[in-house]
Amino acid sequence: MYALLNQRFSSFRPEQDSSGINGFLSAGWSPSISNQMGASVTAGVTAMGPLESRPNDSIGVGLSWAKINRSEPFLEAEFNPNELMLQGYAQIALADSLYFQPTITVLPLVGDRDAEDDSVSGLLQLTMLF
C-alpha cells in the first residue's frame, strides 16, 4: 500500500515560468516478508528555478524513515529495526537538456547492524535528457 501527497506551496514568477516551492509526503506499507522495508515515510521540499536568471535549476532536501524487515532470525541479526536518511541536492542546468547534480546523503541511523558510525556519501551526476 502506498500514498503520495504533492503540493505546490508558492510560485516565484507565476506569469513567467513554473518556478516555485513544491513539497511532498509519501508513506508505504507492505506485509510481505520478501521486501527489505515493511513501512516507510518520506518527505521533501524542492525549490524550482530559485533564481530568475536560472529558471531551470532546482535545489531540494528530503528525509526518509524506513522500518527494516526483520521477520527472519538472520535478518534480525543483520539489520537494525529502522533506518533514517537525509539528502540534499542541487540540479544545475548546463544547457537545454544537460544537468549537473551534486548530491549529499547522510544516514544518521543506518540499517546495517555492523555499521559503527553514521554514513555520509556524495554523488556528482551528469544527466542528459533525450
Residues in Cβ contact with 7 at an 8 Å cutoff, skipping those fewer than 6 apart:
22, 23, 24
Q: Put residue 14 in one of left, alpha, beta given phi > 0 → left and psi -120 to 50 → alpha.
A: alpha
75-101 pLDDT, tens digit per residue, is 778 888 899 999 999 999 999 999 999
- Owning domain of residue 40: 2-128
**Structure confidence at residue 78 (pLDDT):** 83
Query: Is the per-residue pLDDT at 54 higher than 80?
Result: yes
What domain count does the chain have?
Answer: 1
Give CA–CA dist 66/38, Å, rounded. 8
Q: What is the dihedral of CA 7, 104, 69, 78, to 10 degrees?
A: -170
